[in-house]
Structure formats: structure tokens, C-alpha cells
Structure 1
């Protein structure tokens, strides 16, 4: 009876206390932005206990009054916090100090809470990560003039962007990067190179970007410069909607009269119109003797070559997003995030395209080009998250982006100085890029040791289409007679080209991590497997206008000569020149990978009772790769595949060490072996004419994969939450590097191909710093410095190439695409009370080899072609309207204030600099300054 009475009193008192309780909730994470699951949260003296879910969220009901909360997680220092529990919900976010820092960068990228400072996240992510990483968060992205992911990447330390869309990490060519979207690999978007076009993902869809520079066994082995992890926005903690609208003025384009072939209808939304498709033909057009038949079939094509004069208005851009979390019964939650983005940018540029004889440097041709492009970019994400309970979560993430670029080029100049032939040309090129990705991934916390199982399945599709590339070329002989050029080759006459590249990618991965402790050393064992299957199909059709070799005397433009009436009047028709054994191919690539990785953390010393750990991460990755290119006609004729190197197995060891010197300084060392495989198109032995480059591009089925040995060392100082200084050095040795080089065997037209050289070496030093300037204000009594911060990153890189005996390339030169230096400097001003912020950014890279030339012994003036390093200055000012931005915010950005020319030149004196009058400028185009004003509102 006594026991029963005591139990009854206990239950009654417990019921009474629960009736007078308050709710405490929040998020538990670490300094590097990782949310910690499986943390026990309880109050001393209370029976109530809560556990954090996979996103670090917890909530607990506690008696009113003063309570001491305990946060206890395996492999984390236990933390206590005194709170005053009231009738209103109390929000308390807690940061734990890890006994070990989880390596997986995907887990670092966590859902942001309302007041998260992503600059602090970026700094702390560097400090806590065992390997070498660079980061940029949404707050920093918002301070730039970025429209696309490519614009964002060029602000990341050691990264540059080529042609506005291809990333170079540590100055290395874009082929040496690996790209991931929400943890799933991204394929090459290009039909003629191994590269991902970062202009197709809008910046407004980004949460953050992480660039991983050193390798570990749980990451892909196919990279040399860095692994670029793009993470799109995640589901917020509470319902939120936001929209923004802006317009962009271009100093060379807006309100100016410009000639254009134009776009219409669905093309304003990035969808090619049906008028650009090849019509349903009654037969083939290979036989030139069928004059009447070919002429009638030609009239089925879209023969509208009308040129209009436009006055572009400032380019609009729009974004809308909504995030909604739903609380269900028990611990179950569902969250939804949707975002849409649209922009159209019109741009005018003019410049010079020249070609000199490679033997005696005499001028062969010189053109003045006027280029106008309309670029439509739209996309969206749709993410669904389901939390089954505190230890199990499943996410479904979807993305689709479209990038549609329609360009009109009008060319005038001299095509043949020796024979006094003037030329004028017309080009209308459309590039359609679509990226689709859907992925399902799960995180599961297992057992008392909080072991973690993660898995991911992904399907992706990339589609790159050139629906109707049209060229019309005219020649005027000795300033008198003007002819429409009809030639047997598309690149030397008038014609049309159609192509379609479609790639489907399936991938899956599973990883398991076991936590354990041996004495004072805290460790985890991680192992996993990865599978990827890529199917690519490339088709193309090429037509030239005939009768080939006939001279069509005319003073008209293509709108008259190549219209249906002109086709009948001149007796013109299309002839198909598609080489069915070379101009089409199918490819399949399979990758099987497995890894095992150990992480050991040993406390070397304690600072303020907190341990400082020596960290070792080591292991090995095995990759089995098979890639085959096929063409039915080619195989039937030559009795072999277009390219088939068989199955290749690679073992890729790596070791990373992080050693603390003090609580705020540390040293990192790393060695890792990686690869660089040729892309399918680089292996396909068919040619494609690049009108703007005025050159042919042809593949090489004999390419070998490159093997890289990498070393990294870096000293780090983290004196404050937003302050840091890092100094590092790196070295790389590349066996069989793949380069894009001039083919000296093709004399009639400049032709580029892909080749292996014997080896290459790269050495570089990197410096990065971020400093709040409040100390200057303290010294001089000026409060403005309290809100200023300075950021900069710099790299000096040197590379050299060792050549094969039969190499035709220029000797004693750096690796293709390798910039000798990279510099980014930014000055930020933030005044939280007024909601006013400003940023000034400067970016500059050194001149780099864009295309490999040939040695002087083969062709005296076949020197390497360099891209001149442009300096870019951007400025932005933004202001919150109303208290805490209650009425939105307005932003004004000025881009490319220096507006330096884009120049490609031959470095004839091999001094690494562009010297006008000495070096041959092959391409030189102007760039306009931009001014963008936008308004955003969240509710």
C-alpha cells in the first residue's frame, strides 16, 4: 500500500507539472554548419527527454521556471545551458564542439536557420574540415552581381571562369574538374569538350557551393583541380514566400539599333520553335544530279533569312520561391520547397577575327564581326522532404534548367589578301541546353552508437541541341563582282547544320559509417559503393547550298538569295554532306566504385578545457571504368568500334592530416592520387566547324586517361569568427595530360584536335584572408570601420610540360588553360541597423593558353593562342526597406566597370604577355558595362 501511495503521488505530481509546462525548441549543430542528429536533450531533475532529428531539430516540454538543459551527443563535448522556461515558446539553438568533425561535405551543407550568418559558416567550414575546401554561402552570393552559377564560382578562392561558363580550379583547365548537384554527379553539357556549363543553373536557386581541393576515398577519383559541389535551396523551418524582379541595362546594347535574325514565340521561354526543325523530306538530298527534286525539297526548310533592326530594352529577370513545412502526428514532418527563375539577357559585341599564315606570318584574312545574342535562362526546383522520425529522413529533390542562346553574327572583311577577295558573312546560331535531375536520398541513424547509413539514387538528363545553324557567305573579287559562295564544305561556303546531343545518366550510392573509440582516440570507419551508367547519343546532319562550284552573281542579302523565290530564281538547292560513318555516334560509360576510409582523432592538447585533435583520414578507392563509342556504319566498314579502350581498374590511395598548433592555428597535409578520363566527344573522330573560332574541331580515338599525383600543405589561422588567414602550397604531377591543340596536318583550314603529352608538373602557392576592419575604427575613432570587412585570395602558379618524341607542340610552355596567377579582392560594408550594405569586387587572372599551337620547326608562326587576362570590377549597394526589411529590399549593381576587351592572341615572342604590334591578335571583342536594379520581398 505504501508503494502504491508513493507511485500515485508521483503520477499526480507529474501530471500537475506537465500541465504547467513551456516548450523549448531549436537546432543543434556544429561550428561548420553541420546539424547534429541523435543528440539527447534533457533538463537536470526532469524525466522529459528529446532527441534531435536528422536536421538537428528538437523540441521538449519542461516545467515553468529556471531549468538547466543538457545536450549530450556521442562524439561531442557535453554542453549545459541555463534557461528560463515561460508560457511562450523559447527558441534555443546550440553549437556543440565535436570530438571528431564529420568529413562528408554533403552533411555540412545543412538547412539554414533564420539568422544564420553564411560568412561565419564559410570561415568555420574551412577551419573544421579535415581536407582542403573553399566555400561560398547564400549571403555572399547575394552580395555579388551573379546571375548564374558561373558568376558565383569566380568569387571562390582559386577558381576562375572561362567564356562565362567553364570553371578552372587552381588555374587548371575545365576538364580537370568534377561537378556535383546535391551530391549527384553532373555530366558534360558540351558536344565538343569535357566540361560542364555553369551558366545553365541560375544563382537564385543556390544555397551554397563547396569546392573540394584535396581527395579522400569517399569522393570521385576523376578530378585534378577540384570537385565542385552545388547545393540548391533547402526547405525552411517555417512557411516563407519570396519574389524578386529586376532589369539590366547594358552600355553597348540597350536602346541601340542592332541588326538581328531575331527570336519569336516559344523561344522567349527558351524552347526552340518548330520552324528550326528539319522538315519531313520525301527523300535524301545526297544526289546533286536531282536538281528539280532537291530544289523542291529545299523549299520545305524554313527559308526566312529576314534581318530586322531592333532596339533592345533593359533585360528583365524574375524569381519566385515558396517553402512550406507541415507538422504531422508524432515525430513525422513533411516539407515542400518550390522555386522558379526566368531571365532574358540581350548582348551586343563587336570585334576582329584574323588569321595569319603559319609559315611567314603574312595576313591571310581579317574580319570585323558584329555579334548580337539573346540568352534566355529559366529553371526551377521542387524539393520534398519527409521526416519519418528523429532518426530517419528521406528527401526527393528535382531540378530543371533551360538555357537558350540565339546569336546573330554579321561579318565583313578580307578573306584572301593575296587574291584581293573581300568577304561578308551571315551566321545564325542557336544553342539549346536543358538539364533535368531527380534524386531520392535517405539518412538513417542506427543503434546506440549513432552509426549513419546514407543512400542516394539519381537520374539525370542533359540535352544540347543546335536546331538550325545557318551560314551564308559572300565573296567580292577585286572590289567589283560579288558572289554567293557555294562550296562543297559547310565551313567554306553557305549551308545549314543540325545536331542533337542527349545523355541519360543513372547513378546510385550507399555509404555506412561506424563510430568507435579506442582509449582517448575517437574514430570512425566509413565504407561505401557507387555506380554510374551514362548513355549518350549524338546525331548531326550537314547541308551545303549548291550547285557546288557555280558562281551566283548577286548584290542581295540571304533574305532574298536564299528565300523560296531566290532558290527558284538562282537554281539553288541543298545538298546533304553528312558523313554517316563519322558524324553520329552512341556512347556508353559505366563506372563501378568502392571505398574504405578510416578517420582517427587523437587529442594533442586542451584549450579552455576543450580538446584540440590531431586528425588522420586515410584509405583507398577502387574504380572500374568502361567506355565504348559505336557507330553502326563505322563498325560495318572498319570491323571495330569507334573507340573501345576496354575495362580499366584503378586503385586510388589518399591520406589527409590536420595537426593543431594552437587552438586557433593548424597545419594540413595531404596526398591523393586521381584521374582525368577523356570525354566521349574527345574520342569521336569527326569534325565540327566553329564559326566564331573560324576553325574545325576533330576528336582522337587514341586518347589515354591522365593519372595525377597530388600534394597539398596549408597553414591556417582563425583568430575570430569572421577572420582568417591561410597560406598554402600544392604540387601536381600529371602523366599523359590531355590537351586541345592545333593540328598541323590540316593545311586548308585551322583545325584543332586532342592529344596526350608525356607528363606535366604544376606548382603553386595560395593565400586567402578575411578581416573585419573594426580595429582601425578603434585606433582612429571612426565608427564606419566597424561595419567594413576586407577579403582577398591570391594564387601564383607555375606549370611545365614534358613532351612526347613526336610532339608537334611548342616547347617550354605551361599546361593548357593554366593561369599563372589568380586574384580576387572584395571590400564589404554592412550596417545592420539601417539595413544598408555595399560591396566592391575585383577579379583578375593571368593570361593563359586557350589553344595549343605548333613548334617553330614545323610552322614558324604557329605559336600558342592565349586568352588575355581581363580585370573585372563589380559594385553593389542594397537597402532594406522598413524595419528589418519589412517592406522588402532594393538592390543596385554595376557589373564589369572596366569593360576590358576579350582578346585571344598568339604570343610570338613567348614572353607570356600581350604586346600590341608584336603578337598576333586572332580575336578581339568588346564588352559592355551593366547596371541592374532589382526589388525583392519576402513574406
Structure 2
């Protein structure tokens, strides 16, 4: 009863807090937006934006953005003017109390002194459509994207959900992106102009679900290349820009829940669960760190013959074989976002956006069929997932200068339990198989960016970034039971396969730590070529990656086959009483190749020109040079050193042509050269045995374990 009262009090507190946050006072409205060039799509700095017939106005900042505040509710006419551009008047711009009206404007360059005196008049709705069309038409390359306005009107909670709406992309597992049918292996991604490291230990992929959608300013998926893009992609390059300075102070709370007909309120089976698991952490199932626990394979083997030391070591392993059962609750998806902006008397301003996210879900796939030649399995897959995230972006703008400091932290825990039943003809056996797999992933990323207008024709930007990825499997546990097919209709029990340690029935402990440091400087100058303004751009930069990976494979084996013990259910198969009798011993099959470290340095430089050839034909062309150095250290199974060195210098030209067929249609053609570089994991001789995914084995099953053993690099099959 006391716990119920406490829960009611907590719910009432939350409801009152929500009411105080979500009730906004009616006050002055605002108009904000971005001003761009109609032909090039470049943002324009220093454009005058004012209320027609008044002196109230502002200039666009270094990002081409403006904000007109302190407006009473009603409709206004906005006048936009800029040197060498035709003046625009936009009518029917409606402002509502306490809200921000977005008005993006496209400016047309004047062709003569006479035209500068002409005023182009249009209404709010038409100008908004023109801005959207201009953004798509003026892209230098073939791309698709989505803006914050479109994201705001969608129910999407994460960037993974948003990317589903971009043409030519599909999403796997609600987080991994596929562009033009090419898997994540052939795509790259950047967040706030800094490369994103892979969040997965065994492939090149980034979990896009870790970035909340409400802080995204825009997403662009580039399907062709220009010299200023990182060239390590064959499918697409995903560029995500998050918000920094809000238009006004705000606080938003979003409480979401979800229902899945296969999972919600249905039976859910799971391994041990701890409170910290709901917040993305697990410290209960780590490899023992005491001085009496063996640190390597040799130390494990040295325990044989010393029964007391062996028993002491075995008892230190986490006792985590219990299987729980309950009804899956509704999924949880909650976000809190706070935005603050401060305008100073010297026309500078400081802004901050802070976002917190929490997600939790329990999903069940009751029947996953796996058939391959000699076996027929049915899996029940139960996955518990929790995710906590935080984003803190800060920016300061003064005159033609802007400094941004953006930070992202995310923690994901996936705890999966698989129960398998079926027949393996290759081993003439019916099987029962249990697998517990917990994965913890953490991402920390920070970037510092600067944008500066050096002169009327020169813009400079730079960035430095740091990212750290951790990925650990603290205790992946697997055990199988077999019974001969000929005994199917008898009372003969299934017997645990635990008299010898294999990759089918071991406990895996692995840790990956990767750091990425990068930086770049880009300069853009407007030059006259053949009587037309062209943009000349060049830049240099580098990215350094360092990865350390280590895994240990161990488990308990019966000293002698014993059907009474082997027929026990999984909950009592490794009971403390059996361990203390000395019936089990600790075995280890960690090989020399189960550890590696690697680093790479990518340095680049590029030059490019965005040149209007005629009024309808535009060319963007140039060349990018990338120097790639990679070093990897590991060992073969025989202990011999494995050293991999890669040293490449690539020149990557590209040409993008755009011809304006009509005001609303472009014809595009492009030529470019990009590349797909080897990943650390693909070069390492480490064997990863995956019994939980739906991959088919890479060889016909015989008496080997029935799951897929995937070998990356080293020429393995």
C-alpha cells in the first residue's frame, strides 16, 4: 500500500510539472528564417530584413539567418534588400502570439542597375514554396534531405525514424541506414561537420537512433560526390546538422509510448535483470577482476591439479543462468529539450539547446524460422533494450563571426535471450539451445566549429572534433542440449553439451574502445569568371582513429560425462553445490588472434570551383587528394605476429553539371571517384561466432556447431 501511495504521489508530481512547463504565456511573436541566393543556394550575410514602412529591422548573421522579435499578433509585410540583389516584399506574413513564424527567402541577383530599382512582391505561402524548391534545385550534387520544419511536422522521435522519409534510403533495425541498396558498409556519416565513428564492433555502421529528431536542423543524404565531401563512400554520405541557437526560449517535454502486437502484454523471457540495466549500464556481469582469477589462458590451464584454486576461480564467475518470465510492458520513449537564447546590447547573442532522451522496450519475435540444408530451427528471440542520451549545444554569434560547441552522449544496452528448438540432421539430433547476449554501447562526441566572414567575398570555417566509442559484451553465454533423433518418441532426456568447451557453448567477454580526433579548415572566395560570380573553395584536414579490442572465451566443463547432471535444466546445470564438489573445472579457448589494436590517419586536401557557365548551365568540379595510413597489430593462432600496413595516396576528381530545363526542373549529370576503405575489423584475424543472428553458415553443417562462424580478414571463410 505504501509503494502504491508513493507511486501516486510521483505521478501527480510529474503531472503538475508537465502542466507548468507546457502552458506558455501569450506574448510577442517572432519571424525568423534564412536568406539564400536563388542560383547558388549559398546563404547571404548582412541582408537587411525589416518591417515594410518602419525602421524596425535586422541583418542576417554569418549563417544567413535572421530574427525579427517583439511583434504583436497580426499580418505583416516584410522587406528584404541586399546590395546587387533585387529587393523583395513578402506580404501576408502571419504572426501569432508567443510563437515563431518561419520565413525562408530566396534572393535574385540584379542583372543591371535598372533592375536594382525593381521590387519583387510575393506572398508568404508562395515564398515558402520557392525557398523549398530553390534548396533542392541549387544543390551542387544529387542529394535528398529533410529540414527541421518537416521534421517538426512528423511524429519521428529519432534520426533513424527521420531517415526513413528520405528518398532512396531504407533503415534496418530502426537505426542502420542503407542508401541506394548499398549496406551501411558502403556509406559514411558526419554529425556537425565531424566524421562519425562506427558504433558496431564487427562492421562499419552507425546507430542513427541515438540522435533525437527534435534537435536536428537538417539532414542531407548525398548520392554523388564533390571535393569537399569525405570520399570514403560508395552508396551515400549522410550529413546531420543539429541546432544551436534557438529562435526563442522554450522547454519541451515529450512522453511517448508504443504498442507491439507480438510483444506488448505477451510472454517475455529474459536472463537476470538489474536496476542499472534500465539506464544502459551493467556492472554485474563483468569478468572477475580479483587477483585470484586467471588473467589469461596459461593461467587458466595452471589451475588444473589445484582443486581448491579451481573451485575458487569458478565461483567468481557471475551466476546468471536463471530465466525469468513476465508480460512485456508498453515501450517507453521520453524526451526533454530546453532552449535558451540571450541577446546582448552589442548585437551579439548566445544560445544553448540541451536535450535528454530515454527509451526502453521489450520486443519478442515468437517464431524465427532458420532452415539450411540439414537443419530446421525455430527461435524465440526476446530483446530488452534501454537507451539514455544527452545533447548540449552552445553557440555565440557576434557580427560576422560564430563559434559553436556541440556535444553528444549516448548509452545503449541490448540484452537478448534466445531459445532454440529444432533438428540437426548433420548430427542426427534434436536440439534445445539457449543463448544470453548483452551488449553495451557508449558514444561521446564533441566538436568546436567556427564560421567567419573575412570580407564581402571571403568566408572561412573550421572545426575540431573528438569522439569516443565503447562496445562491450560483458558475458555472452551459450549452452546447447542434444538428443538422438532415434530417441525422439522415448523418455530419453536432452543432454547438455558441456564436457568440452567450444565456440558453441562458451562465455564470451569482450571490450572495444575507439577514439577519433579530427579537424579541418575550409575557405570560400567569390571570384568573377566570364562576367559571372563563381565560388572557389579549398580546404585541408585530417582524421586520426585508434582502436583497442580484446576478447576472452571461457566456460565450465564437466570433468566426466554424467547423464544425471547433463539432463538438469539450465537453471541448476551449474549449481553451486556441483561446483563445490569439484565436478566442474574452468576451461578457456581464447586464442592469440582474439586481441588486436589498430590506428589510421587520413589526411586530405581539396580544391573546387562552383561556376555558372551560362544562365542555365552550372558546373561544380575539382579534385580531392586523400592520404590514408593504417596499422594493425595482432597475432595468429600459432602466436606469430600479424602486422597489417596500408599506405595509399588517392586523387579523386569529380564533376557535377546542372542544366535548368525550366524554373522547376533541372537536368543533372555527374562523374566522380570515391572509394571504400578496409575497416579494422575486416583486417583483423579475430573469429566472431554469431549464434544469435539470422546469417546462414558459410559452410555446410557437419558435426560442427550449427551457427554461423564469421571470419573477417585473414582470408578466412
1:465 matches 2:472: yes
SS in 1 for 2:673: strand
**Matching residue of 2:5:** none
Kindly state the Cα deviation for residue 690 of structure 1 after the two structures are TM-superposed: 0.5
Q: What are the Cα deviations for residues 327-360 of structure 1, in whole angstroms up to 9, with x where unaligned?
A: 123022110110111110110112245454xxxx
* Secondary structure class of the residue paired with 2:135: helix
Equivalent residue, structure 2, for 1:730: none
The answer (yes or no) to whether the contact 2:681–2:713 under 8 Å persists in 1 is no
1:583 counterpart residue number: 594
Residue of structure 2 in register with 1:230 after alignment: 240
Matching residue of 1:440: 448
CA drift of 1:280 comes to 1.9
TM-score by length of 1: 0.64
CA contact (8 A) 1:504 1:534 kept: yes
Q: What per-residue deviation string (whole Å, max 9, x for no partner) do you get for residues 378-415 of structure 1?
A: 2111011111x22001000001111111111122223x
In structure 1, C-alpha distance between the alignment counterparts of 2:523 and 2:426, rounded to whole Å: 70
Q: Please report how far the alpha carbon of residue 651 of structure 1 lies from its aligned counterpart in structure 2 after TM superposition.
A: 0.1
Deviation of 1:475 (Å): 2.0
Shift of 1:236: 1.3
The whole-number CA distance in structure 2 between the counterparts of 1:259 and 1:37 is 59
Written as runs of structure 1 = structure 2, the 5 A alignment for 1:678-693 is: 678-693=678-693
Q: Could you tell me how far apart the structure 2 residues matched to 1:548 and 1:629 are? A: 39
The separation in 2 between residues aligned to 1:234 and 1:78, in whole angstroms, is 31
Q: 1:245 to 1:419 in 2, by over 3 A?
A: closer
Are the counterparts in 1 of residues 48 and 60 from structure 2 also a CA contact under 8 Å?
yes
Alpha-carbon offset, residue 49 of structure 1: 9.3
TM-score (norm 2): 0.82
Conserved? CA contact 1:209–1:228, under 8 Å: yes
Mapped pair 1:505 → 2:516: yes
Report if aligned partners of 1:439, 1:459 keep a CA contact under 8 Å in 2: yes
| Residues in 2 aligned to 1:694 and 1:286: alpha-carbon distance in whole angstroms | 35
In 2: Cα distance, 1:624 partner to 1:189 partner: 24
Structure 1 residues 115 and 315: alpha-carbon distance in aligned structure 2, compared to 1, 3 A threshold: farther
Structure 1 unmatched ranges of 5 or more: 1-22, 101-113, 605-612, 698-741, 757-806, 809-852, 854-939
1:517 paired to 2:528: yes
The 5 A counterparts of 1:321-470 are 321-354=337-370, 356=372, 361=373, 363=374, 365-387=375-397, 389-414=398-423, 416-417=424-425, 420-449=428-457, 451-470=458-477
C-alpha distance in 2 between matches for 1:386 and 1:595 = 29
Change (3 A) 1:673 1:455: same
Q: Provide the residue aligned with 1:245 in structure 2.
A: 255
In 2, Cα distance between equivalents of 1:516 and 1:460: 37
Moved more, 529-538 or 48-57: 48-57
Aligned residue in 2 for 1:550: 561
Deviation for aligned residue 1:552: 4.9
Aligned match of 1:618 in 615, 618, 621?
621
1:69–1:143 CA distance, 2 compared to 1 (3 A)? closer
Report the CA distance shift for 1:548/1:40 in structure 2 as closer, same or farther (over 3 A): farther
Distance 1:49 1:348 in 2: 57
- Is the CA contact 1:627–1:644 (under 8 Å) kept in the aligned structure 2? yes
Q: Supply the distance in 1 between the matched residues of 2:638 and 2:555 (Cα, whole angstroms).
A: 27
Q: 1:620 to 1:688 in 2, by over 3 A?
A: same
Distance, in Å, in 1 between the alignment partners of 2:132 and 2:78 is 31
Seen in structure 2, the aligned counterparts of structure 1 residues 572 and 513 have a Cα distance that, compared at 3 Å, is same
Shift of 1:368: 2.2
Question: Would the aligned equivalents of 2:690 and 2:709 in 1 still touch at CA under 8 Å?
Answer: no
**1:15-54 map, 5 Å:** 27-30=33-36, 35-39=43-47, 51-54=59-62
Structure-to-structure mapping, 1:883-902, within 5 angstroms = none
2:596 aligned with 1:596, yes or no? no
Q: Equivalent residue of 2:137, what SS?
A: helix
For 2:119, the equivalent position in structure 1 comes to none
Contact 2:435/2:477 (<8 A) preserved = yes
**1:263-300, CA deviations, whole angstroms, 9 ceiling, x for partnerless residues?**
21111111113344434251332344444422221101
Which SS does the other structure have where 2:510 is aligned? strand
Structure 1 residue 461, shift from structure 2 partner? 0.8
Q: Assess, with a 3 A threshold, how the Cα gap between structure 1 residues 343 and 115 changes in structure 2: closer, same or farther.
A: farther
Residue pairs, 1:737-776, within 5 angstroms: 742=698, 748-749=704-705, 750-753=708-711
In 1, the alpha carbon distance for the partners of 2:612 and 2:494 equals 78
CA drift at 1:624: 0.2
When residues 526 and 285 of structure 1 are mapped into structure 2, their CA distance, relative to the original with a 3 A threshold, is same
Query: Could you say if the C-alpha distance between residues 483 and 637 of structure 1 is closer, same or farther in structure 2, counting changes exceeding 3 Å?
Result: closer
Going from structure 1 to structure 2, the CA distance change for 1:504 and 1:603 (only over 3 Å counts) comes to same
What value does the CA root-mean-square deviation take over the aligned residues? Answer: 3.7
SS in 1 for 2:503: helix
Q: Is the 8 A contact 1:484 1:553 kept in 2?
A: no
Aligned counterpart, 1:657: 657
Tell me, yes or no, if the aligned pair for 1:118 and 1:137 is still in contact at 8 Å: no
Q: What secondary structure does 1:674 align onto?
A: coil
- By how many angstroms is 1:456 displaced? 0.4
The structure-2 alpha-carbon separation of the partners of 1:186 and 1:43, relative to structure 1 and needing over 3 Å to count, comes to: closer
Deviation per CA, 1:15-37: give whole Å up to 9, x if none.
xxxxxxxx998545138886532
- Provide the residue aligned with 1:482 in structure 2: 494
What's the CA shift for 1:425?
1.9
The answer to whether 1:133 aligns with 2:136 is: no
- Do 2:252 and 2:338's aligned partners in 1 also have CA atoms closer than 8 Å? yes
Q: Secondary structure at the match of 2:674?
A: strand
The Cα shift of 1:163 comes to 3.8
- Matched with 1:800 is none
CA distance in 2, matches of 1:311, 1:91: 46
Instruction: Using the TM superposition, give the Cα deviation of residue 471 of structure 1 relative to its aligned residue in structure 2, in angstroms.
Output: 1.3
1:840-866 residue CA offsets vs partner (Å, 9 max, x unmatched):
xxxxxxxxxxxxx9xxxxxxxxxxxxx
Count of residues in Structure 1 that have an aligned counterpart in Structure 2: 649
Checking the alignment, whether the CA contact within 8 Å between 1:552 and 1:570 is kept in structure 2 is: no
CA, structure 1 residues 195+70, in 2 after alignment: closer, same or farther (shift >3 Å)? closer
Distance 1:274 1:353, change over 3 A: same
Instruction: State the alpha-carbon separation in 2 of the partners of residues 40 and 123 from structure 1.
Output: 23
User: How far does the alpha carbon of each residue in 1:448-473 deviate from its partner, in whole angstroms, 9 at most, with x for none?
Assistant: 32x10000000001111111111122
Match of 1:79 in 2: 87
Q: 1:187–1:281: structure 2 CA closer, same or farther, 3 Å change rule?
A: same
Q: Tell me, in whole angstroms, the C-alpha distance in 2 between the residues paired with 1:592 and 1:652.
A: 13
Structure 2 CA distance for partners of 1:603 and 1:546, relative to 1, 3 Å: same
Q: Secondary structure at the match of 1:676?
A: coil
SS in 2 for 1:286: helix
- What SS does the aligned partner of 1:678 have? coil
Alpha-carbon offset, residue 665 of structure 1: 1.9
Counterpart CA distance in 1 for 2:370 and 2:128 is 47
Partner of 2:12 in structure 1? none
CA distance in 2, matches of 1:248, 1:46: 51
What is the CA–CA distance in structure 2 between the aligned matches of 1:68 and 1:687, rounded to whole Å? 64
Distance in 2, matches of 1:200 and 1:313, equals 22
Give the alignment partner of residue 270 of structure 1, picking from 277, 280, 301.
280
- Provide the secondary structure at the position in 2 that maps to 1:222: coil
- The 8 Å contact of residues 376 and 403 in structure 1, kept in 2 or not, is answered as yes
Contact 2:31 2:101 (8 Å CA) reproduced: yes
* Alpha carbons 1:587, 1:627 under 8 Å: kept: yes
Distance 2:102 2:427 in 1: 81
Q: Partners in 1 of 2:106 and 2:711 — Cα distance?
A: 54
**Distance (whole Å) between structure 2 residues aligned to residue 373 and residue 667 of structure 1:** 47
Q: Secondary structure at the match of 2:264?
A: coil
Map of 1:786-865 to 2, 5 A cutoff? Answer: none
**Where does residue 674 of structure 1 map in the other structure?**
674
Instruction: Specify the alignment match of 1:56 in structure 2.
Output: 64
The equivalent residue for 2:640 is 638
Deviation at residue 192 of structure 1 after TM alignment: 1.2
Q: Is the 8 A contact 1:31 1:125 kept in 2?
A: no
- The answer to whether the 8 Å contact 2:620/2:657 transfers is yes
Residues 179 and 548 (structure 1 numbering): CA distance in 2 closer, same or farther, change over 3 Å?
Answer: farther
